[in-house]
A and B are shown apart, each in its own frame.
Chain A
């Protein structure tokens, strides 16, 4: 993937295994978020392939990816600011009959049943992420940390098999950090595969069985957290000097 003459991600290969939590780390500008945008379909690669469960999705539109079971959150949260927190989460629901314009007139009963089910589910997710007390507030009043949680609730509403988490703990206070780690472990225990971008090495070490280090758009190292953390090449990439 290149932007003009700049190669943001180049010759990079990554395999996400079912049920794992894979950490993607690297210094700022390494191309981690670009990698995410490629997998999520927000960007199209200039070369290469993206496979999901064997299917080639390289050219599939971003709005089709969730149907493949791939959900994502954004590094800088993108709440629907003027909508309530509950409605934000409801928007994540998939296959809603009520999203068909005419069905609202022709099948009102079915739309209503699905909406009730969706509201129950959304309230459950808000409980899971301790946002219930804010359900009817507009999303713009949320703090930075609460926005991170809302991102997560919204994507969980779609029941993704894989979640791409882009710095879910950036700028979050220590207590909330612990809470987010616990929730990610919870989700993973229930079978959700997770690809995590994170700078907090402690968090990465606690969550991830396997880590991939990127630097300057390329794969630098792959391995277990403690191996990678000791690797001189990784340290050099982060600090810019041989340690």
Chain B
């Protein structure tokens, strides 16, 4: 029973870290129509930033600075946001398909940097001994797991509520307007470039935060965590859950992660050990299958885009 509970806590914690990434992507794609195919790069930026800031000093590489975890998370969001602004300044004027190519390139560059900038990132071996929240409780697995889950739930909830507030504000309305028709938005005085850049930065910062949360939960990061596969998973989550819907982004993350974990469990139970490494590819197949089924049955995702109306409009029309 305790085993099951602590596995449940572990599963949900990991799933919710993906949910945070997915919320970030939803700001970019779901709300603003920015086709970011470099999600992994921004997550990596956050993970490495927080790892450098919070790990104890290591003579063979730059840092760590042994700072509190909260500082690491903040720094992660900040640096990933900054990276987004820089990338955005260069690429955000590009049409959707070119933006996709550019962001994919950024993610590959980030991964190669993580792999090769050994003095900074520890190279292929990555960074270990990343402090875990409530680390002093680690002996008691269940309590430790539940406390971590609580922290991730709170973080997810905080991001969710902040985003809901933003997307139901005049700011969110302008983003949707630009997504729907840029020419018309320009004619109404909306600086499409500035708003796109903001949405890209907010989404990127959230992805960075998620990367940090993930890194501290696992306690160890390496370049192979931040391959295009990660980007693909997060996109699958958003498509399944419902692009343009924050609840959908969270739900999709949990469901797709469940499919991923269940397939892994099934493979280790059914497939003979010598074939398991190859059978792992079936996980990707299952995710692909989930996307295909979703696009056929419910192309807008399980929840689909809600017609987001500014919350003030609701209040105002309710009055009458």
Interface residues of A (CB under 8 A from B): 40, 42, 61-67, 71-72, 74, 78-84, 86-87, 90-94, 96-101, 104-105, 111-112, 115-116, 119-120, 135-136, 138, 154-155, 158
B53 contacts partner chain A, Cβ-Cβ < 8 Å: no
**Chain A residues with CB under 8 A of B95:** none
**Chain B residues with CB under 8 A of A80:** 176-177, 180-181, 184-185
**Chain B residues with CB under 8 A of A72:** 187
Given contacts A82-B180, A119-B312, contact A98 B169 (CB under 8 A): yes
Interface pair A116/B315, CB less than 8 Å apart:
yes
| Complex A-B, nearest 6 residue pairs according to Cβ-Cβ distance, in ascending order | A115-B312, A98-B170, A66-B189, A80-B180, A78-B184, A119-B316
- Listed A/B pairs (8) with beta-carbon separation below 8 Å: A42-B183, A62-B186, A63-B185, A63-B190, A82-B176, A100-B171, A101-B166, A138-B307
Interface pair B173/A104, CB less than 8 Å apart:
no
**Chain A residues with CB under 8 A of B225:** none
Q: How far is the CA of A83 from the CA of B169 in the complex (A)?
A: 13
Q: How far is the CA of A95 from the CA of B307 in the complex (A)?
A: 24
Q: Which chain B residue has the least Cβ–Cβ distance from A70?
A: B187
Interface pair B310/A87, CB less than 8 Å apart:
yes
Interface pair B184/A74, CB less than 8 Å apart:
yes
Give the interface SS of chain B, mostly helix, strand, loop or mixed. Answer: helix
Pick from B170, B187, B198, B305: contact of A111, CB under 8 Å: B170
Pick from A81, A82, A84, A91: contact of B188, CB under 8 Å: A91
**Chain B residues with CB under 8 A of A154:** 184, 188
- The B165-202 residues at the A interface (CB cut-off 8 A) are 165-166, 169-171, 173-174, 176-177, 180-181, 183-192, 198, 202
**Chain A residues with CB under 8 A of B192:** 63
Q: How far is the CA of A62 from the CA of B168 in the complex (A)?
A: 26
Interface pair A81/B180, CB less than 8 Å apart:
yes
Contacts beyond the supplied A63-B186, A71-B187, A90-B313: 15 A-B pairs with Cβ under 8 Å: A63-B185, A63-B192, A66-B187, A74-B183, A80-B185, A82-B180, A98-B170, A98-B310, A99-B174, A100-B171, A101-B198, A115-B313, A116-B315, A120-B316, A158-B188
Q: How far is the CA of A96 from the CA of B310 in the complex (A)?
A: 13
**Chain B residues with CB under 8 A of A87:** 173, 309-310, 313
CB distance from A123 to the nearest CB of B (A): 8
CB distance from A158 to the nearest CB of B (A): 6
**Chain B residues with CB under 8 A of A96:** 170
Given contacts A96-B170, A154-B188, contact A84 B165 (CB under 8 A): no
Interface pair B183/A91, CB less than 8 Å apart:
no
Interface pair A90/B184, CB less than 8 Å apart:
no
CB distance from A126 to the nearest CB of B (A): 12
| Chain B 69-90 interface mask (CB, 8 Å, partner A; 1/0) | 0000000000000000000000
CB distance from B205 to the nearest CB of A (A): 12
Q: Which chain B residue has the least Cβ–Cβ distance from A92?
A: B188
Interface pair A63/B166, CB less than 8 Å apart:
no
Q: Which chain A residue has the least Cβ–Cβ distance from B180?
A: A80
CB distance from A192 to the nearest CB of B (A): 16
Interface pair B188/A104, CB less than 8 Å apart:
no
Q: How far is the CA of A231 from the CA of B199 in the complex (A)?
A: 55
**Chain A residues with CB under 8 A of B181:** 78-81
Q: How far is the CA of A74 from the CA of B188 in the complex (A)?
A: 12
Interface pair B180/A101, CB less than 8 Å apart:
no
CB distance from B261 to the nearest CB of A (A): 34
| Chain B 136-174 interface mask (CB, 8 Å, partner A; 1/0) | 000000000000000000000000001001100111011
Interface pair B176/A101, CB less than 8 Å apart:
no
Q: How far is the CA of A42 from the CA of B59 in the complex (A)?
A: 57
Q: How far is the CA of A20 from the CA of B153 in the complex (A)?
A: 61
Interface pair B189/A64, CB less than 8 Å apart:
yes
Pick from A63, A83, A98, A112: contact of B180, CB under 8 Å: A83
Interface pair B202/A82, CB less than 8 Å apart:
no
Q: How far is the CA of A116 from the CA of B314 in the complex (A)?
A: 10
Q: Which chain A residue has the least Cβ–Cβ distance from B199?
A: A101
In this complex, the member of B170, B187, B307 whose beta carbon has the largest number of chain A beta carbons within 10 angstroms is: B187
Q: How far is the CA of A115 from the CA of B173 in the complex (A)?
A: 12
Interface pair B177/A91, CB less than 8 Å apart:
yes
Interface pair B186/A42, CB less than 8 Å apart:
yes
**Chain A residues with CB under 8 A of B170:** 90, 93, 96-99, 111, 115
**Chain A residues with CB under 8 A of B186:** 42, 61-63
Interface pair A99/B313, CB less than 8 Å apart:
no
**Chain A residues with CB under 8 A of B180:** 79-83
CB distance from A168 to the nearest CB of B (A): 15
Q: How far is the CA of A48 from the CA of B317 in the complex (A)?
A: 48
Q: How far is the CA of A99 from the CA of B185 in the complex (A)?
A: 13
CB distance from B115 to the nearest CB of A (A): 35
**Chain B residues with CB under 8 A of A61:** 186, 191
Interface pair A90/B190, CB less than 8 Å apart:
no
